[in-house]
Amino acid sequence: MSDRPEESKNQQSIETQPAEATTNNWDGPHDQRNPRNWSRLRKWTNMLLLGGLVFLDALGSSITAAAIPALIDEFGVKHANRVVITLVTSVYNLGIAFGPTIMAPLSELLGRWWLYQASNVVFISCNIACARSGTLGMLVPFRLLAGCASAAPVTIGAGTITDLYREKERGVPTAIWAGAAIIGPIIGPVAGALISYGATWRWTFWLLVIIGGFLLILCLFFLDETNPAAILKLGGLRGRLCSGGAGQDEKAIDTLCKSLYRPIRLLFREPLVSVVSIWSALSVAHLFILFTSVEEVLIDKYDFSLPVSSLAFVAMGIGAIAGQILYTALSDRTVRLHDKGGDLRAEHRLPWMMLGSLALPIGLFWFGWSSEAHTHWMSLFSALFVCGLGLAIVLIAPLSYLIDVYEQHAASAITGSLILRALSGAFFPLIGPPLFHDLGYGWGCSVLAFMALVFVPVPVFLYKYGESFRKVSVDRVTQ
């Protein structure tokens, strides 16, 4: 690469730089240390453990929602308004916004294994503290810290997928990783309602501790380091020490400093990252606003009990699973066809994103006006199924695109998107109650649907111009 003209370097696509640099350090294309050459069993073991960690941390974001009334009663908060009630849930997402800023750069510099383990230990410890909290003043800070720790799997997971799989192989692994982050928050209210109904709110946290401890044991024995730089560094440590090459590690601090601000720089200076991140954040806002309204509609208008009303999220979860399967199958088929034709590029997964971008506003219109007209509850459940289908596609497809574009630096590229998504999940639930109070569910959901419709052309735009944006980018990810 060093003998190419400078113009060629500037035109080089973002995703090829780190991949080529890493490939040159392996002992040939079949080096068994390279995670992409591992057996299928070993790869899937790592992916399933990653999916479990992502699901657990996503579950923690919403499992307390149904337990909030009991929690408020126990702590004696009088005249609690909706802001106070939703704070315990929202502050967790606020923590998720802070965590990625340090975790993604550290994972690219030091490796991923240690961060997975350390973050899980912190997550478990914070949830133990939450379960034993005697005041809101103790509970809220530990929820914030738990949220910070929970950001690791979803942030670092993008890099793990890139480490393990080539571009044409990433459809299903990405669906597992991103899908777990969607299914977790949807299942959370159901689990929280059932636990709160049969036990106390503290068991919502003990459940997270139990699952986290089980995954910690499995990860200690079966989770591998996948970062190529970390693998090569460990493998060549003795040789570097003997030859005096260990002095290269003096650059680590400088590299870390550059990596810390890379995600923010990409978010604000890379059009691709900016557009995808804003769209994803808006979709997460829709998801969490629905969390604040669905149970209220079913309890107040349809006289459902709390456990029964939480089953509405099962309908949304089934829709999300259907969206995952549909998008993965269709996009993988498209990728295989273009790979055979020799013209594969990252944008070839995008056309099927249009399906999700249309399904989401349709579901929002349907749910809002069905609630307003007090139609049969099955109509609401069907609308939530469509919302879940659309949300799954809209949240999986953009992340899959960023992974394909940024390759080895996917963790940093996705960090900016995750920060916006987490902030959206933290603050938009506070907007939902006054929105529906002032406009009603019909027009309130219509406002959300119209916002979603604005982004319908995004997949077409990225498909047509995405490659051009990558070629003329002034902000190389490796800088």
116 pLDDT more than 90: yes
- Give residue 19's pLDDT band: very low, low, confident or very high (50, 70, 90): very low
* pLDDT single digits (tens) 198-239: 788 899 999 999 999 999 999 999 999 998 888 887 654 333
**DSSP single-letter state for residue 250:** G
What pLDDT does 255 receive?
63
**Cα separations in angstroms, 241 against 153, 246, 250, 474:** 32, 5, 13, 38
What pLDDT does 167 receive?
77
What pLDDT does 175 receive?
84
What pLDDT does 121 receive?
96
Helical H segments across 113-243, by residue range: 113-131, 136-164, 171-198, 202-222, 228-235, 237-243
Q: Mean pLDDT check: name the lowest of 208-217, 237-246, 436-445.
A: 237-246
Q: How does the average pLDDT of the chain come out, rounded? A: 80
6 pLDDT more than 50: no
* pLDDT single digits (tens) 267-304: 887 888 888 888 888 888 888 888 777 877 888 888 88
What pLDDT does 271 receive?
80
DSSP string, 299-366: HHHH---HHHHTTHHHHHHHHHHHHHHHHHHHHHHHHHHHHHHT---GGGGGGGHHHHHHHHHHHHHH
Task: Determine the Cα–Cα distance for residues 167 and 173; give it in Å rounded to an integer.
Answer: 11
Q: Between 369 and 93, where is the model more confident?
A: 369
Q: Between 356 and 240, where is the model more confident?
A: 356
29 pLDDT more than 70: yes
What pLDDT does 43 receive?
95
What pLDDT does 383 receive?
94
Q: Mean pLDDT check: name the lowest of 126-135, 349-358, 447-456, 463-472.
A: 463-472
- Give residue 360's pLDDT band: very low, low, confident or very high (50, 70, 90): very high
Within 10 angstroms of residue 144's Cβ, the number of other Cβ atoms is: 18
Percent of the chain's residues with pLDDT above 70: 84
* pLDDT single digits (tens) 60-111: 988 887 777 777 777 766 554 555 666 777 888 888 887 777 777 777 677 8
- Give residue 27's pLDDT band: very low, low, confident or very high (50, 70, 90): confident
What pLDDT does 83 receive?
59
The first and second tokens of residue 105, run together, are: 């750069």
- Give residue 256's pLDDT band: very low, low, confident or very high (50, 70, 90): low
Task: Report the pLDDT averaged over residues 5-13.
Answer: 37
Q: Between 246 and 191, where is the model more confident?
A: 191
CB contact at 8 A, 14 and 405? yes
Task: Determine the Cα–Cα distance for residues 281 and 422; give it in Å rounded to an integer.
Answer: 8
CATH of domain 13-23+37-231+250-471: 1.20.1250.20
pTM of the predicted model, to two decimals? 0.77
Q: Between 173 and 124, where is the model more confident?
A: 124
178 pLDDT more than 80: yes
4-8, 16-20, 206-210, range with greatest mean pLDDT: 206-210
Surface-to-core class of residue 247, CB atoms within 10 Å of its CB (0-12 exposed, 13-18 middle, 19+ buried):
exposed
- 377: three-class secondary structure by DSSP: helix
399 pLDDT more than 50: yes
Indicate the domain borders of the chain: 13-23+37-231+250-471
Q: Between 220 and 397, where is the model more confident?
A: 220
What pLDDT does 18 receive?
41
What pLDDT does 270 receive?
80
What pLDDT does 86 receive?
66
What pLDDT does 49 receive?
96
* pLDDT single digits (tens) 300-321: 888 888 778 878 888 988 999 9
- Give residue 429's pLDDT band: very low, low, confident or very high (50, 70, 90): confident
